[in-house]
Amino acid sequence: MKCIAMPAIIAGAIGLFLLLLPISLQAQLVLSIIVLGLMLIFMTRPENKTLRLMTFVFAGIIALRYAFWRTTETLPDLSEPLNFIPGLILYLAEMFCLVMLAINFFIVADPVKRKPAERQAAEDLPTVDVFVPSYNETADLLAVTLAAAKSMDYPQDKLAIYLLDDGATAAKCADRDPRLAHAARRRRDELQALCRALGVHYHARRENSHAKAGNLNAGLQISHGELVVVFDADHAPVRDFLKETVGHFASDDRLFLVQTPHFFLNADPLEKNLDTFRSMPSENEMFYSVVQRGLDKWNASFFCGSAAVLRRKALEETNGFSGQSITEDCESALALHCRGWHSVYVDKPLIAGLQPETLVSFIGQRVRWAQGMLQILTLNRPFLQSGLTLAQRICYAGTNLFWLFPVTRLIFMFAPLLYIFFSLQIFEANVVEFICYSVTYLISSFAMQSYLFGHVRWPWISELYEYVQSVLLIGAIGSVIRNPRKPTFNVTAKGQTLDQSRLSPLARPYFIIFLLLAGASVYALWRYLTEPMPSELLLIVAAWNIINTGLAGAALGVVSERRERRRNQRLDVHRHALLHLDDADHAVIIKDASSGGFAIEFIDGRPVAGMTVGTTGALELRRNGRTMRANMVCRTMRQAKGDGDGEPVFGLAFLERNAETFLLIAEVMYADQSALQDRLDRRQRKQGFFRGTLRFAYWAIRETLRSFQYAFGFIRETAEVSNPDAPVALGPPVRTAPIRIEPVAQKSSTEEMACA
């Protein structure tokens, strides 16, 4: 450790000396070039921890030199308030970003890569309760998650699964509106039948107080397992989920949390509308692949609401899950970290879920996250909490403060307009100074972004995600700052489809901003060409505004929503099965799978005679002496892509979906974790800054044109009508290995009457 710390201390001392040393512009430029050169050399050896720390120190030197120059040389004169006030606001926004950069460097300086947990003998394994909280999700979506949870590899006498249904509480079943009451009772009957068929517990509480936190706490009251697993309604676990997580609790009695990443089968609005889902790393991968590992280094990895295992004993210390904020997950983790409990992060995709498909639901989700994190910042004050280490305070404060990004992002978007339209001197510098300080600082920032996150975040994508969110989050942030207790929990809609390409209902402000920025760029060019002596600052500001215009143009593509043909998200798999057709058995390979059906290919490459659209048969899968079957019908036939042999691939849909069908779906899709890992690995390809910038510029032009075609009605794409999913038919309970049945609290007479 000394061999790592000593060079960092020496470099830090040199950096401090250079920070305070007054030097000429030429010397500053030479210094920046030398430091950048050393950084780029050190970046070629990312596995060397000494060079990694030196890279951080040298990046800090450039950033601090920029901050020193920005503070002492560029602020407008105090005697000119029209210049000084907006100039100060811009300066404070930049300093906030520098503070966040320093916190980010601290968090991800040395991310942890955990070793696999040690496997325990079956008799030594703890009892586990699995909670699947639900509010308005459909039975077929819940069935896949419950079936996957039921199929996890764990002693069945030590595993209990609970569907915690907040969509059919006693209060809803007794609602004064007979339609709402009838819908709640019907939902309860349907989900109770589903749970009976799958052999899992069903529970609905009296009323949905304290939202998801209250629902999880209700689950704690009716269960007794030593460990508690939480899966969102659309988060289906792989078979080895418990094997990969539970073992960590045996080695640390003070461990309260094992968190795993959230992996998604579908594209978010940016990925779908820019058509990048299968080629570009998803937004969440930067957080789950790098940031959470960095937090884990400082015992600050926190609960993310799902795909996690928690110790009941720890939760009992805080009377269950915290519900003061609308982000109960992070708040609960903070409360337990304050009490000296530990957390672990396992960087391995072990669940597959769904994320919001439309911009409306995407923004709704981010509003909840932003407001909840800022509630924690203002109500819980993590930087002042007793029981936390200094590192944990920095990590939690940084995580919460991050959600102020809409303020700084919009300041940077609109600041150039003050000079272009009103000639306000909010930034005093010439071109030479700008190159020596600002340009070298920007190069250093982009280089560090590529160094730290290059395989999980392409150039300019962070800026695009932040801008798209900022336009609509700024009001929500103002609301929570005015009244931290006002925000309420909103459930994120999942599994939505669009039958027609169209502009999002939220698109208007993005078009207004784009037209304003584009007009400013044109006006800046006109000023430069017509003014007798245009200032150098006009060139700088115009270039800045052109970049902002490109960002706003790409955002127009995000709000121009493409039609969604697919109802069920598919996962590439490779499973052998038998297809029964007319009393004959045929060996097939399942190529991909979804909750609606499978795509198969015959092993010998030649389909049987008469295999056409409309042909029915039974698909059979065998595992560990158990046979699972499903009746299916051929819906599509196509040639395989990428195999080189062009063999036919047949799309089979279920004729009906019962409990055994959902167990078959879980077996095909989630038996092998490598299917999730393979998709993740294929996306995580690093893209250089110059290539990434060219690609982004192309998106800005292409998506601007596409959005205006949508706006003027030149594009009217309608999704093809697809066959409906097979109905959910729930018969008698499935006969599986015995499960541990825990006594459930008796319903009151009022609740019994409400749900009769």
What residues are annotated to the active site?
Answer: 166, 329
Q: Are 425 and 75 in contact (CB under 8 A)?
A: no
d(CA 508, CA 471): 11
Q: Are 109 and 48 in contact (CB under 8 A)?
A: no
* Element spanning 653, H or E: strand 648-654
Q: Which residues pair with 560 in a beta bridge?
A: 503
Q: How many CB atoms within 10 Å of residue 505? A: 11
d(CA 145, CA 457): 29
Q: How many CA atoms lie within 13 A of 77 on its CB side?
A: 2
Q: How many CB atoms within 10 Å of residue 267? A: 21
**Of 36, 56, 57, which Cα lies nearest the Cα of 439?**
36
d(CA 105, CA 57): 10
Q: Tell me the one-letter amino acid at 118.
A: E
Q: Are 336 and 382 in contact (CB under 8 A)?
A: no
d(CA 380, CA 606): 65
d(CA 7, CA 130): 48
Q: Tell me the one-letter amino acid at 642.
A: G
Q: In angstroms, what CA-CA distances link 663 with 73, 628, 735?
A: 67, 8, 12
**Cβ-proximal residues to 368 (8 Å cutoff; 6+ apart), any chain:** 326, 327, 487, 489, 490, 492
* Element spanning 633, H or E: strand 626-639
d(CA 328, CA 215): 11
Q: Tell me the one-letter amino acid at 185.
A: R
Q: Is 638 helix (H, G, I), strand (E, B) or coil?
A: strand
d(CA 27, CA 715): 56
Q: How many CB atoms within 10 Å of residue 72? A: 9
Q: In angstroms, what CA-CA distances link 507 with 463, 471, 503, 561?
A: 18, 10, 6, 10
